Structure 1
Amino acid sequence: MELNLDTIKKAQENIKKVVRKTPLFYTSTFSNKCNCNIYLKCENKQKTGAFKLRGAYNKLVNLTDEQKKRGVIASSAGNHAQGVAYAATAFNVKSTIVMPETAPLAKVKATRGYGAEVIQSGQVYDDCYAKAVEVQKETGATFINPFNDIDVMAGQGTIALEVLEELPEADCIIVPIGGGGLISGIATAAKSIKPSIKIIGVQPEIIASSKASIEKGEVVTLPGAKSLADGISVSTPGDKCFEYIKKYVDEIVTISEDEIAYGMFELMERNKLIAEGAGASPLAALLAGKIKGMEGKNVVALVSGGNVDIATTAKIIERELVLLKRRIRFSVELQDKEGTLGTLISEIGKMGGNVVTVRQNNNWNEKGLDFADVLFEVTVPSEEHGDQIKNKLKESGYKLGSYKCI
């Protein structure tokens, strides 16, 4: 079977009663930052929290009764797992999913919640794929590849149909790329409808296997690496996908782990959207200036999924606040007597700082037992505001120092 506009339109019919038509909205904040018209296609609002349900459900529709009887098995970092589990349960088919030991807990719990048996094995996708192949040989279950499958690619391609139905004037769609199934489907559909549209893939620079494959002209395998964008941490792109990537994808750019984290943070703060690393990658690439020639163009950034551990989200928020100097850290030398600490905390509050951590060094400093170094963490609206607070404290006679862990 060939991947083409007809197979993608058929997939849209197959999945339309189950899959949501997800929001596509204009964001003035990021448009102004990037000097182009940016629209976010929010597949993080899809059932199961990611686009993968589209391809998984289309694959289940196309299985024979005999294949369904034997059950299905898949390997996944998380989103394909949930999509397959949901789709299999909808068809009353037994599902087994092999996930990496490093998969976010939220994805593991959700996959079990959708009715699948979960086996955790290895550190990255390629490790759990090998385990899934082993289990498939033992059980005879039908293997559902997360990307290297025409039915799966066709299901993912329905995203492009929705985008161009709602925004026919789109000039570019930016897509996360790992194994290549998502971008293959989107690129095939979009280019078939509008040949002038640009399709750009975004991949973590620490495991840019699709970019390396395009540059070499053949499928390349890179050493496994764990990116914050775990959903696109794939060592080897699919060979079927690669043919469509070569034909339809205009460019693949790479982004750093810091850029991915910043993209996640910005989506949370400015658009109130929770996105996993892969989902934030297209916007991250735009914010990092990695995508050229889009001035004044209509650009769709695909937010492919939102399945991220809440603990990871909390770490990213704290990290970015520190990097942006909106969470400042400093020590203050205080006389160790009643009321001095309370007075200082009150003064910081009056200046607009929110004291989140106070820790007093139990060891005396060089001045002896009557003085102590107190460590502060304070959140502020901006870097400039933080500087103002520290300067005013110094002007008031306080001795400030660096934040040294004790």
Structure 2
Amino acid sequence: MSLVELLRTATRSVSANKFRAALTMLGVVIGVASVIAMLALGNGARAAVDATFKTLGANQIQIGQRFEIQDGKFEPVGKKLTYLEGLDMASNAPLVERVEMSVSKSVKARYGRNSIEINANGVTADGLKGLVSSGSVQPVTWDGKSPLTEGAFVGSGRFFTLDEVYAGVSVCVLGYQTALDLFAGDEPVGQVIWVNRTRCTVIGVLAELVNTDLENRYQSDPNKALLMPISTMIQQLFEEEPSVYMTAHIVDANRIEDARGQIATYLRERHQVGKDAEGNFQDDFDMTTRSDILGQQQEAARTFSILLAAMALVSLIVGGIGIMNVMMVSVTERTREIGVRMAVGAEPLDIVLQFLLEAVLISASGGLAGIVLGILAIPVAASLNNGVALLLPGSIPLAFGVALLTGVAFGLFPAMHASRLDPIEALRYE
């Protein structure tokens, strides 16, 4: 019997019991969908790790105030990290080369009749240097070949200087889109805008930028920016001194743990940090390195992948057992048909192939439905994994292959059972 005829026969048999076949393939659908989601999360985690390696250099330590959950809300712990602490850090921690600092606040910017709500950022004079080294954004006009310098990020005017930061001069640099929103095509450089109730002279406009990370390209707009000297922003826009976010650049990346210890010692002395009953410091600040983030992301991705893998395995086993049970029932219902086919010359292999093809057809249909469900479920899975999921083309054939393998593995026993029936006994079956 030809393979085409066997396939036609298997299709007719499955089509004759559509509802039963649909219920049978449900486990396969869930299993394959779980495989798709698991692969997408794994790929997304790897992509996130790669992005982390770009945005946080091997010689950098991020420092921020510690938060703890109190009464269901995240509340700051202990003393704030201050601007002056950032200024003094390099002189108290010899392995620290320089410290970038930033604060942010939602403000209303106004020029003439045009006004916008925007998140303003107070940064140090080397803010552009950090932007260049992060690799998270790049100028739209950059050709990708020439060296990417700080100057490439300035479209017109200039960035503020170290002296302006120290003096707390009321100047600002606008993002490309922010300048368009406020000035509607007019020249912004040299004009005065209002940031809340503070007059601020525009000294520069950033070049039009684009996110280098495709996942963030449509989530945030780097062109909607308003940058001010951090000292100016703290003095003019905050009623009380805010906690400052710091990035410490270390002299030698190989000694980053030694630098972490120096920074911790310095901040513990400034904040008068005590110890708990077990002798551990009760720090009110957190320090994060690239290896810390890598470990956290890998652990989270590993845990979630294990859960999905377990779910996929259980679903596929349940689906496979369902296929086996249905095929055994089908063999019993068609015992006389099997006897007739054997009596007219069908070989045991023909019987095996017929029932095996029916099992594979059910699992393949479940696999296709599972692939669609898995693709639709990826945004949900991503929301449970910090928005990180990435479906690669190779994941789909792999998931479909798992579905086919399930059909073969669990359909083989009923098919073999059917091929071993005695033709005479089968013909007598009522």
Identify whether the pair has TM-score above 0.5, normalized to the shorter chain. no
Of structures 1 and 2, the one with the larger relative CO (CA 8 A, separation 6+) is 2
The structure whose Rg is larger is 2
**What's the TM-score once normalised by structure 2's chain length?**
0.24
